[in-house]
Structure 1
């Protein structure tokens, strides 16, 4: 079995951060979200991965490389424009050949991995398998409608009036039958070749499309609140590791990871918290579910339930919450700013706030 990883999306819901960075490389507990998917693929026993890339191809190639760091062999497949998930299958035809494959959306986060579902697919007699999970607002997802016996009776992509609350999780398993399906369908009103249309074609032509409703945690990390929630979930499971330097005036409560070269001076840290290598935190409060990237500086600051990416600085600012702060950002005091701040800041920005 092979894998097809989709890492070409533009991440419009995370702008302005995605104007300068690939959304698949945004960090969850200081590790790019794409890495979690690649590790899940490796742990399922798959080694050959085709990766669809678009405008951010250079950045993804630089960070992911040839896949050796994950024990994978990665082949990059360029997509000229985001023309739909089924279009990704279409352009990967030569790479995939007649092999079964798992298609994994690179900005999706699924706790528990995919080993069991890959094994079950190999043992089953299906042309495709999809994963479903109930969501509060299915209008932003592909949606499946099941009958009383659990069989799929209808599929729709981002419907205005969903027939159910079952969203399609961004992990699919296919046999070679899907190649006939993606060639048979036409673009949707959105101008894309929809994978839901390809799945519906398989059903209509007598193929068995199996569905499984998952009970574990899944997120499409396409919005700030989703990134923060995934960060919270991963930090829930960390174990304390203090490889950096902590002075005698610093108070640490809960689980904290302090990477090598990082320094804590006169701070209050309430875990779970992760602090990246070579960051320096002085006179500051870090609250639960906060990730600080590598090479950051925090001085006389308060922050919790937030993600701060590499090489950013926060000085003299009180009570930052529920914020996603990009790389190379400066946050500092300014006049006439409110006392509480919620920030979505693009890379290499400077923001001046009241302390």
Structure 2
């Protein structure tokens, strides 16, 4: 069994961060989102993995993720020249996949369920396709499945105005090689893309065995800032193991589950977990509140923050207001003016949102 992970796309909902980097490399609990999917697949025994990359961010994904050795896998990189749909990504990956059954995993998803459960059922029942589903309160925002009581998929609809169910497609699919014929026989949708939902519907219409199963546990879509912060909260809540590999002085107080990376220095701070702090950080005269992830080489001086994600090399200096619910990019600097300002001066990237309180 093989797998492909989709790591292309433009990540427009996470701009301005994704103007300069791949959305799948944005960290959750200080680990790139993409890596969670790789680890899930390896845990399920799938080690031959192809990662679909785009011309804009593919080199960065490849440089950061490598050949798969660190995960116990072999990773191949497959270039998708343009974002022409999920089914198009499978078409591009066909030389890598050959006739092997495979898992298709969207690289910006995080799931708690054990993939082995679904792999075993897919193999035992010799299905042509198995889609994973999750109950959602807002099905109009997703691809939605209509299934019968036995789990057989009757129909798939992409972002329906009047949904027939609240079962959303999670973004993890299991296929045998019949999906390639289906993709060869569908046409681009109204938005000009080859939709995987159309390919699966083709299988359904031609009598193939297509079933669906609901995942157990959480499913996290990290496409927007608030979604990413929620994913960070859930991962810290469920997965963080406390450890201190840095230097914490006697004036500091560490409360709850906190992980501190090597060579990081904590001076005169209160840190209330769950919090993860990367390597080579300098944090002084600060309060770091719950559900914060601080990447490597971050500097925070005379500031308070909580429920926030700071990427590598960010600096937060001398801020009187508490920073909350924030996502701060690589090497970004936030600092207060030397004198108390009567006006606000900002340099903000395209598509940013600013709230002044």
Cα shift at 1:73: 1.1
1:310 aligns with 2:312: yes
Equivalent residue number for residue 232 of structure 2: 231
Cα shift at 1:2: 0.3
Cα shift at 1:125: 2.1
Contact persistence 2:316–2:333 (CA under 8 A): yes
Gaps (5+ residues) in structure 2?
none
Cα shift at 1:119: 2.3
Contact persistence 2:113–2:216 (CA under 8 A): no
Contact persistence 1:40–1:115 (CA under 8 A): no
Residues 47/144 of structure 1: CA separation in 2 closer, same or farther (3 Å cut)? same
Deviations 1:273-331 (A, max 9, x none): 00010001100000000000100000111110110000000011221111111100100
> For residues 349 and 309 of structure 2, what CA distance do their matches in structure 1 show?
13
1:323 aligns with 2:326: yes
Equivalent residue number for residue 68 of structure 2: 67
Contact persistence 2:47–2:73 (CA under 8 A): yes
For the residue of structure 1 that corresponds to 2:77, the secondary structure is: strand
Residues 303/156 of structure 1: CA separation in 2 closer, same or farther (3 Å cut)? same
Residues 289/345 of structure 1: CA separation in 2 closer, same or farther (3 Å cut)? farther
For the residue of structure 2 that corresponds to 1:291, the secondary structure is: strand
Greater mean alpha carbon deviation, residues 8-17 or residues 137-146: 137-146
> For residues 294 and 304 of structure 1, what CA distance do their matches in structure 2 show?
17
Equivalent residue number for residue 31 of structure 1: 31
Contact persistence 1:302–1:320 (CA under 8 A): yes
For the residue of structure 2 that corresponds to 1:58, the secondary structure is: helix
Q: 1:162-311, aligned counterparts within 5 Å?
A: 162-236=163-237, 237-311=239-313
> For residues 271 and 343 of structure 2, what CA distance do their matches in structure 1 show?
26
Contact persistence 1:17–1:345 (CA under 8 A): no
Equivalent residue number for residue 119 of structure 1: 120
Greater mean alpha carbon deviation, residues 106-115 or residues 59-68: 106-115
> For residues 240 and 58 of structure 2, what CA distance do their matches in structure 1 show?
31
Cα shift at 1:148: 4.5
The two structures have a TM-score, normalised by structure 2, of: 0.93
> For residues 188 and 127 of structure 2, what CA distance do their matches in structure 1 show?
25
The two structures have a TM-score, normalised by structure 1, of: 0.93
Contact persistence 1:29–1:274 (CA under 8 A): yes
Cα shift at 1:345: 6.9
Equivalent residue number for residue 91 of structure 2: 90
Q: 1:36-51, aligned counterparts within 5 Å?
A: 36-51=36-51
For the residue of structure 2 that corresponds to 1:92, the secondary structure is: helix
Contact persistence 1:326–1:345 (CA under 8 A): no
> For residues 47 and 93 of structure 1, what CA distance do their matches in structure 2 show?
17
Q: How many residues align?
A: 347
Deviations 1:64-110 (A, max 9, x none): 11111111111111111100000011111111111000001111111
Contact persistence 1:13–1:223 (CA under 8 A): yes
Residues 129/105 of structure 1: CA separation in 2 closer, same or farther (3 Å cut)? same
Deviations 1:140-180 (A, max 9, x none): 22111223454322111122332221110111000001001
Greater mean alpha carbon deviation, residues 201-210 or residues 63-72: 63-72
Residues 278/262 of structure 1: CA separation in 2 closer, same or farther (3 Å cut)? same
> For residues 161 and 79 of structure 1, what CA distance do their matches in structure 2 show?
33
> For residues 345 and 206 of structure 1, what CA distance do their matches in structure 2 show?
53
Cα shift at 1:344: 12
* Runs of 4+ residues deviating >4 angstroms: 343-347
Cα shift at 1:253: 0.8
Equivalent residue number for residue 22 of structure 2: 22
Gaps (5+ residues) in structure 1?
none
> For residues 344 and 214 of structure 1, what CA distance do their matches in structure 2 show?
43
Deviations 1:36-71 (A, max 9, x none): 000111111111111110021010010011111111
